Structure 1
Amino acid sequence: MCVLGQPVRYNGSAKTAAHQALDQWRREGRLVPICPELSAGFGVPRPPAEIADGQSGQRVLAGVARIVDATGADVTAPFIAGAQAALALARAHDCGFALLADGSPSCGSRFIYDGSFAGNRHAGAGVTAALLRQHGIEVFADTEIDALLERLAQQE
C-alpha cells in the first residue's frame, strides 16, 4: 500500500513508487494492495521495527531470530501474522508476483536494516518477502518495476 502512495509506513509516510505501469495496473484492476503490518494490527504511526542482530526474515520464520521495535518490544508474532495475511491474500487472488517496499522488516526484498536502529543496511529479506518466496511468489522491490514488467511480459 505504501508503494501506491498510502501513508501507512511506521512514521505515517508513503513510499510511493512513481511508475506509469502502476497507474495502468490500477486501472486494469491488477493490483492487490496490502500492508502486512496494518493487517497484523499495528497502527500508524508506530515505533520503527527491525530484525534483531543482523538476521533475516527467513531466520525469523525459522524461529531463530526476532523482530524488535525501537522501544525494545518483541513484535515477532504480529509481523509473522502480517506475512501470513499477505500470503493468504496473494493466494486468494492467484498472485504470482509481489511488489514490496525495500528496507522494511516485512517487505524488504533486497535489503533490510540490521537491528541496531542506526540506519545500517544489509542484504536480506523481510518476513513477508521471505514467506511469499517460500511459497513460490516472485518478489520485486519497489525499485524493480521495470524488471517486474519484463518478467510479466515473459508470462503473457
Structure 2
Amino acid sequence: MLAPALVLVAVLVAVLGGCTTPASDTTPPAATPTATASTAGTTPATPAAPATERLVNITRTGGLAGVNESVLVKADGSYVQLKSGATAGTGRMAPDRLAELRAAVAAAGFPGLERIQPGGKDPGPDGFRYTLVAGGREVVTGGPDVPPALMRVIELAPLP
C-alpha cells in the first residue's frame, strides 16, 4: 500500500514542478528597507512559509466505485487535484478557507500521530481510506472511524 502512495507523491511533485514561473531579468531589485521613527521600535513580522511548501496532501481511495482522488495544497493555498493519477483541476483556496485548513492541520498534530489511525487498516466494505501527509508525517485512516481532527482536515481540503 505504501508503493502507490509513493508513486502518487512522485506524480504530484512532477506535476507541480512545472507550476513555477521563472523570475524575469527585467524585475526591478527590491527596495532596501530603512527604519523610520514610526517603525524603529517594532518587531519584524514573522516570515511566511514559502509558497512552494506543502501544507497537506490527501489521497482518498476505495468506495464502491474504486475511487482514487488526491489533492496537494501548498502553503500559499494553490492546489492540484488528481483523479486516477491524471490532473483533474488546479486552483487557489479562498483566504478564509485556507486559514481554516491551516488551523485544522495544526490542531490535528500530525508530527505526533501514529501512522495507522482507526480505520486505516480496514475502512470496511465500500469505505474510503484516506492517506494524509502534513508536517512531515504520513497518516492513514478510513471508514466510519476517522478521528474528528483528521476528518476536519479532509472536509476543508479541495478534494476533487
TM-score range, shorter chain: under 0.3
Please report the TM-score for the alignment, with normalisation by the length of structure 1. 0.25
Computing the radius of gyration from Cα coordinates, the structure with the larger value is 2
- Report the structure, 1 or 2, having the larger helix content: 1
- Report the structure, 1 or 2, having the larger strand content: 2
Please report the TM-score for the alignment, with normalisation by the length of structure 2. 0.24
